[in-house]
């Protein structure tokens, strides 16, 4: 597989140099040097040439070692991330699972023991010992337990305590505070909807006004900002769109404007995504933007035969050629940056979603949003469609398919949903 690489695709500052345009040019220089190494010699010309995409290789073993090195101990400078302890579990476990690596029982037990000690008596999970329960930490803890799997791990979660705590975070405008007296933004709605939908604790009171709050966060550009009146951002767009999919209310948005804004986030020269207008490419937006596209496709009722409305091959090229640390392992933001666990996981999710076409055929979509039992049905309708697989480079580069709303592979997600939807719901109807 080959594609044309051309310097003609570079950003044009219209001869108006700014700090932003200078940084953009520096990033494009570093990426252009990498892509030139993949240009077929016979096609090389002044403006570029044809890229040989058969040479791309996912450095699976190095990434696995990078993750295990982190699991075995982090340097002291990571103490500043003490409030992100559930996230480290989530980043490591999810990356290993997506790569298809073995997760030992010892590691699973270690994660459950750690997270059980971070669960607050008042409900929810704390980011670190002695801290307040936090919506982001609770989301990460629940997702880590999804990946651990097994009844023993599932039973560590206090469902009733989680529901009571979520309700205490609920605001009259439909949003949620991230913690007691904390900030309010779309992340809170997403984290709350993911946790509640997975644990079978959704109620009319919990979801009241949530869709309307998200709709108010859509900007004139078309994307979704953190709260009303603030610039659209890739991370908040994924969070808002995914939360609306859980609620079955993606029609609350102006989907035409959203599609236009999202499509503009993929950069023609780099192939990866940025998260805001006039910002630099970043590997993590392979999920925050790339993951939003399957949800948008579903909302637009597009069939898989119509394809994604972004360039899947270009995104894979950026991730495989520019985001892998070939010396230390792990994945990164962009060339010149260091790899980290956050970017490793989100780059791998983006790689997965660009390889596997995941979606729900329009004729098969469940439209009922009244029954609590419609939630798991709509959740598990998502699936990868093998006929639409696109793998750049070596065939061995393929990774596991990932759910775009819940960001984890399907098998552990299905087991978790089966367990918690065998528990009695807190409400039969959602409206």
Catalytic residue, chosen from 217, 333, 378, 406, is: 333
Whether 154 is catalytic is no
Q: HEC profile for the chain?
A: CEEEEEHHHCCCCCCCCCHHHHHHHHHHHHHHHHHHCCECHHHCECCEEEEEHHHCCCCHHHHHHHHHHHHCCCCHHHHHHHHHHHHHHHHHHHHHHHHCCCCCHHHHHHHHHHHHHHECCCCCEECCCCCCECHHHHHHHHHHHHHHCCHHHHCCCCHHHHHHHHHHHECCCCCEECCCCCCECHHHHHHHHHHHHHHCCCCHHHHCCHHHHHHHCECCCCCECCCCCCCCCHHHHHHHHHHHHHHCCHHHCCHHHHHHHHHCCECCCCCCECCCCCCCCCCCHHHHCCCHHHHHHHHCCCCHHHCCCCCHHHHHHHHHHHCECCCCCCECCCCCCCCCHHHHHHHHHHHHHHHCCEECCHHHCCCCCCECCHHHHHHHCCEECHHHCCCCCCHHHCCCCECCCCCCEHHHHHHHHHHHCCCCCCCCECC
Whether 279 is catalytic is yes
Catalytic residue, chosen from 285, 287, 310, 342, is: 285
Written as six digits, the tokens of 132 are 């307040």
Whether 282 is catalytic is yes
Catalytic residue, chosen from 97, 158, 185, 282, is: 282
Catalytic residue, chosen from 191, 239, 284, 322, is: 284
Whether 287 is catalytic is no
Catalytic residue, chosen from 216, 279, 304, 337, is: 279
Catalytic residue, chosen from 276, 312, 334, 403, is: 276
Whether 337 is catalytic is no
Whether 276 is catalytic is yes
Whether 284 is catalytic is yes
Catalytic residue, chosen from 170, 265, 302, 343, is: 343
Whether 343 is catalytic is yes
Catalytic residue, chosen from 233, 312, 317, 403, is: 233
Whether 285 is catalytic is yes
CB 161 within 8 A of CB 105: no
Residues annotated as catalytic (active site), given as ranges? 233, 276, 279, 282, 284-285, 333, 340, 343
């Amino acid at each position: 597989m080959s594609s044309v690489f051309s310097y003609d695709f570079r950003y044009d500052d219209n001869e108006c140099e700014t700090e932003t345009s200078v940084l953009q040019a520096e990033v494009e220089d570093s990426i252009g040097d990498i892509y030139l190494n993949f240009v077929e010699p016979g096609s090389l010309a002044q403006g570029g040439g044809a890229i040989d995409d058969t040479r791309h290789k996912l450095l699976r073993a190095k990434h696995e070692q990078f993750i295990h090195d982190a699991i075995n101990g982090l340097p002291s400078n990571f103490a500043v991330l003490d409030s992100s302890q559930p996230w480290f579990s989530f980043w490591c476990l999810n990356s290993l699972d997506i790569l298809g690596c073995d997760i030992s029982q010892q590691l699973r037990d270690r994660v459950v023991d750690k997270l059980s000690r971070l669960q607050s008596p008042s409900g929810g999970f704390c980011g670190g010992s002695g801290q307040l329960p936090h919506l982001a930490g609770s989301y990460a803890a629940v997702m880590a337990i999804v990946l651990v799997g097994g009844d023993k791990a599932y039973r560590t979660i206090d469902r009733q305590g989680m529901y009571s705590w979520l309700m205490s975070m609920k605001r009259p405008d439909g949003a949620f505070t991230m913690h007691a007296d904390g900030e309010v933004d779309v992340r809170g709605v997403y984290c709350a909807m993911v946790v509640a939908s997975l644990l079978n604790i959704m109620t009319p009171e919990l979801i009241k006004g949530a869709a309307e709050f998200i709709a108010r966060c859509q900007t004139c550009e078309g994307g979704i900002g953190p709260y009303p009146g603030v610039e659209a951002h890739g991370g908040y767009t994924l969070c808002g769109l995914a939360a609306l999919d859980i609620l079955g209310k993606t029609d609350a948005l102006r989907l035409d404007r959203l599609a236009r804004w999202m499509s503009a986030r993929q950069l023609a020269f780099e192939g990866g995504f940025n998260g805001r207008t006039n910002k630099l490419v970043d590997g993590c937006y392979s999920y925050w933007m790339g993951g939003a596209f399957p949800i948008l496709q579903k909302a637009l009722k597009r069939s898989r035969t119509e394809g994604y409305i972004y360039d899947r091959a270009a995104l894979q090229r950026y991730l495989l050629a520019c985001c892998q640390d070939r010396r230390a392992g792990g994945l990164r933001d962009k060339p010149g940056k260091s790899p980290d666990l956050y970017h490793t996981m989100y780059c791998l999710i983006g790689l997965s979603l660009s390889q596997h076409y995941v979606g729900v055929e329009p004729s098969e979509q469940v439209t009922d949003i009244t029954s609590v039992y419609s939630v798991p049905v709509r959740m598990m309708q998502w699936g990868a469609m093998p006929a639409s697989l696109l793998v750049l480079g070596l065939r061995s580069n393929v990774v596991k398919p990932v759910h775009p709303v819940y960001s984890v592979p399907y098998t552990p997600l299905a087991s978790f949903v089966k367990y918690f939807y065998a528990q009695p719901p807190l409400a039969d109807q959602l409206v």
